[in-house]
Amino acid sequence: MAGNSIGQIFRVTTFGESHGTALGGVVDGVPAGLEITEADLQVDLDRRKPGQSRYTTQRREGDEIKILSGVFEGRTTGTSIGLLIENTDQRSKDYSKIMDVFRPGHGDYTYWHKYGHRDYRGGGRSSARETAIRVAAGGIAKKYLKQVHDIEIHACLSQLGPIKAESFDWSEVENNAFFFPDTSKLEALDEYMRDLKKQGDSVGAKVKVVAKNVPVGLGEPVFDRLDAELAHSLMSINAVKGVEIGDGFDVVEQKGSEHRDELTPEGFASNHAGGVLAGISTGQDIIASIALKPTSSITVPGQSINTSNEPVEMVTKGRHDPCVGIRAIPIAEAMMAITLMDHLLRQRGQNPHVDVPHGPIPGQAK
């Protein structure tokens, strides 16, 4: 229970279901004095928003973020920030047929058993719609990290089904609907997705997320290591089935003489470690990858059961993403940002707050 919070000093708590009134959350622990507007947060929400390209779900949500507290005269006050997004395009009748049926690969079965009943409207709390608030909260963290520490976080799609990025040009990532760094593959991706749509099927993806300019020293051994907490926050994203730091599973076949990052007076000679040694940031780029499963909301018929334990044939209509990895780009960035911000504040405390000009300090107490 009480699983809707993440972070210790910088803490994000969220609520909301896919077809409820609204999504929202509380962002606690933001130092005072940070300039922030709703428009700052809207940028990433728009990158995540459904209906942005023909490769994502056609559900249309304004996803308009409102800041309800914690910001006064354009700056954070140091108190908790309330966030709200009202749901507008719910169409919950789409879901009425499936209220007694467990969709394979979804949380229907587990929610029903855990809670004794379920919100069958589009997955309720288990829907990826919940991640909108993560993106908004991550936007606050990204702003702080950039402004105060010059830390930048970017993610891209590094693989979609069988199609891998073979070159990495970060400057291209925001220029295509796939957030793909290898433009030579864009045509293949488009073709693949068209085929997939015809088949009524979906496919998995791999997302890479990188943070630059992270100072050395973040991460608390031994259980709250930076990599362990990144694994937690990234694995908490819907559909994620694997997390890698640095070379990840490639290390299984590496030798020690190959893997270790040698040191020179000018710095590290390589970054197999992905910027984390013994759970603490090295000052190099933090590099992580995640594997996202193919969504189970597909029109290819499948076997399932209903709540009376009778067999049913299952076809998920509704409006769904054929590859949830695409919209996961800003979500992965947000979760990385939230975890880094939490670790920065554990290390540095909330003082000095972001500089706010003020007059002379009044009479210090005796």
For the annotated binding site for FMN, the residues are 125-127, 238-239, 278, 293-297, 319
Q: Which residues are annotated as a binding site?
A: 48, 54, 125-127, 238-239, 278, 293-297, 319
User: CB of 216 within 8 A of CB of 282?
Assistant: yes
Question: Would you count residue 167 as binding a second copy (CB under 8 A)?
Answer: no
Residue type present at position 74: G
- Taking the C-alpha atoms of residue 86 and residue 62, their distance in angstroms, rounded to an integer, is 8
* 293 DSSP 8-state letter: P
Options 48-56, 136-144, 186-194, 257-265: segment touching a second copy (CB under 8 A): 257-265
The backbone torsions φ and ψ at residue 5, rounded to the nearest 5 degrees and listed phi first, read -125, 150
Token output for 43: 């940028």
Interactions with a second copy, residue window 126-165 (CB under 8 A)? 126, 130, 159, 161-162
Nearest CA-CA partner of 334 in 145, 158, 179: 145
- Taking the C-alpha atoms of residue 362 and residue 341, their distance in angstroms, rounded to an integer, is 31
Binding mask 213-242 for a second copy (x = CB under 8 A): ---xx-xxxxxxx-xxxxxxxxxx-x-xxx
Q: Which residues are annotated as a binding site for NADP(+)?
A: 48, 54
- Taking the C-alpha atoms of residue 56 and residue 178, their distance in angstroms, rounded to an integer, is 10
- Taking the C-alpha atoms of residue 91 and residue 95, their distance in angstroms, rounded to an integer, is 8
Least distance in Å: CB of 190 to a second copy?
18
Interactions with a second copy, residue window 53-82 (CB under 8 A)? 66, 68-70, 72, 75, 77-82
Three-class secondary structure of residue 27 per DSSP: strand
Q: If binding means CB under 8 A, how many residues of this protein chain bind a second copy?
A: 173
Least distance in Å: CB of 75 to a second copy?
7
Least distance in Å: CB of 97 to a second copy?
17
Token output for 187: 């045509």
Least distance in Å: CB of 348 to a second copy?
4
The backbone torsions φ and ψ at residue 321, rounded to the nearest 5 degrees and listed phi first, read -80, 130
Options 31-39, 45-53, 56-64, 148-156: segment touching a second copy (CB under 8 A): 31-39
Q: Residue 99 or 175: which CB sits closer to a second copy?
A: 99
Binding mask 84-123 for a second copy (x = CB under 8 A): x-----------------x-xxxx-xxxxxxxxxxx-x-x
Per CB under 8 A, the list member of 41, 141, 156, 298 interacting with a second copy is: 298
Nearest CA-CA partner of 334 in 39, 31, 45, 35: 45
